[in-house]
Amino acid sequence: MPLFPPKPSQHEAPLYVGQVSEHAVIFNTHGDLLMLQHNGGGNGPNDPRPTSAFYGKWHLPGGRLNANDQPVQGLLREIEEETGLRNVRIIMPCHTSRWGFGTPVKYSVTYLATVQGQPMVRLPDIEHAMAYEWFSPSDVSKLAMLTPTHHDVVDAAISWAKRLGIIDDKAFR
Global pTM value: 0.82
CB atoms within 10 A of CB 129: 20
The SS3 assignment for 63 reads: strand
Rg over CA atoms, the chain = 18
Average pLDDT over residues 165-172: 77
Average pLDDT over residues 117-137: 84
pLDDT at 61: 93
Domains (range + CATH), the chain:
18-167 (3.90.79.10)
pLDDT at 55: 80
Question: Residue 51: is its pLDDT beyond 90?
Answer: no
Question: Residue 159: which pLDDT band, with cuts at 50, 70 and 90?
Answer: very high
The SS3 assignment for 102 reads: coil
Question: Residue 153: which pLDDT band, with cuts at 50, 70 and 90?
Answer: very high
In 6-147, at which residue ranges do the beta strands (DSSP E only) sit? 18-27, 33-38, 58-59, 62-64, 89-99, 105-114, 129-135
Question: Which whole-number Å values give the CA distances from 1 to 4, 5, 7, 110, in the listed order?
Answer: 9, 10, 15, 45
CB 157 within 8 A of CB 95: yes
Average pLDDT, the chain: 83
User: Residues 62-120: pLDDT tens digits?
Assistant: 988 888 889 999 999 999 999 999 999 999 999 998 877 777 778 889 999 999 998 88
**Percent above pLDDT 70 for the chain:** 78
Question: Residue 60: is its pLDDT beyond 90?
Answer: yes
Average pLDDT over residues 119-139: 84
